Structures are given as structure tokens and as C-alpha cells.
Amino acid sequence: MLAIGLMSGTSLDGIDAALVKINGCGTETDVQLMEMVTLPIG
């Protein structure tokens, strides 16, 4: 499964985004960071 996470801080000066690949479940879960970017707002 691929998942995208988004976050902005309280200052709202940018958005962080991450694309991760998730395999397995429970104690066998494996998460790999595929790509990460920070985009300024404004």
C-alpha cells in the first residue's frame, strides 16, 4: 500500500509531504520512505 502524509506547523509557513510504502501487518510491518518534500506557503 502507498500512503501520503501531509503536515503543516502552527506558523503555516509551509507544508511537509511524505510518500511511504507499507507492507505486511502487525509485528511484520515494513514502512519505506519513498519521497519527501517541503513546500513553502505564500
**What pLDDT, on a 0 to 100 scale, did the predictor assign at position 16?**
96
What is the extent of the structural domain holding 29? 2-40
How many separate domains does the chain show? 1
pLDDT of residue 42: 79
Tell me, what's the pLDDT at 11? 84
**Given this model, what pLDDT does residue 26 score?**
96
CA dist list (Å): 9 to 5, 20, 29, 38, 41: 13, 20, 28, 11, 11
For residue 34, the number of C-alpha atoms closer than 13 Å in the C-beta half-sphere is 11
* pLDDT, position 27: 96
Secondary structure string (H, E, C) spanning the chain: CEEEEEEECCCCCEEEEEEEEEECCHHHCEEEEEEEEEEECC
Express each pLDDT in 1-42 by its tens digit: 999 999 998 888 899 999 999 999 999 999 999 999 999 997
pTM of the entire structure?
A: 0.78
Q: What is the pLDDT of residue 9?
A: 82
